[in-house]
Structure 1
Amino acid sequence: MKRKGQGRSQPLADLVGPVLGPALAAQGFTGADLVASWAEIVGERMAEASRPVRVEWPRRRPGESDGAPHPATLVVRVVGAFALELQHLAPLVLERINAVYGWRCVGRLVLKQGPVGRLQPPKAEKAPLPESARIRIAEAVAGLDEAALRQAMERLGRAMATRPDEPDEADLALPRSG
């Protein structure tokens, strides 16, 4: 007997979220978005040398109103050689973190020096993109007016073109809106 929902594919985020949620909540994170977007917030180089460890939310004082909560403190583990650089970048990092959440939820960074494990293995050298694939990608995104969308679609096209299984013409074609 087939159970309800069996046989349908689900996004990986839907499956991993419930598993990681309690572990992240125990460290003060409200979701995986800060951890997942750490490289975009601090940049690839700094992400290799640092990790958000936990968020420390201030306790409410008795009699304090239920207004906006006070900003939290983000504890970041950082390799010693990069601690000074991250300290100088702290205002920018705080601004970017708060942009991810959409409000001023983090007010300061506390840096803890120590070893940092790798998020992912180093990227292997990619083979150069064939000229024919480059032309097909350029033609496919030529009709897009928005620059950010066009760049994202170009990256997607390049990623698809360098997959181990060779993409065909249909893989690189963008749907046409009518």
Structure 2
Amino acid sequence: MTKEPTNGKRARPAAPPPEPARAWSMRSLGALIPNVARPAFRKQSPAAVQIIADWADIVGPELARATVPRRLSAGVLTLGCAGPVAMELQHLAPALIGRINRACGHDAVRSLKLVQDLVPRPAAAAPPPRQAPPPPVAIPDMPEGPLKDALAALGARVRERAGRR
């Protein structure tokens, strides 16, 4: 039995939520990308992501070791750097801004803000030494060729990961 409200009116059942709008016609992929990319670009602009990702290629290995791009906001690129490097970056600022803008393809950076807060990057771990490939698995009922060689090598790796030789 349902309870009725005390004011004498019957409560109406809650309306079901409206269904999302659907596009029943074909649309280009370019029309869908803004809706998909918007959440990602709220945190970082595409130019900032490109600058951060390609920093070593843009400024060179020497400056990349001593600086880290922190963020890009309203045309101001904030760079974290070690103390002595800040003075050098002030003198190199016009050339550095030109390099960054050429890499981005437009005038994304108008000025630099230098912050002396560089935390040294951890040294990259040395890659593990290469081991000799395991012996290929025999596949007697296949004709010779590159497919048989690839499958034999794949079988050897699978067998190696499973712990069998």
Q: Which has the larger radius of gyration?
A: 2
Which of the five TM-score ranges fits, normalised by the shorter chain? 0.3 to 0.5
Structure 1 length-normalised TM: 0.45
Structure 2 length-normalised TM: 0.48
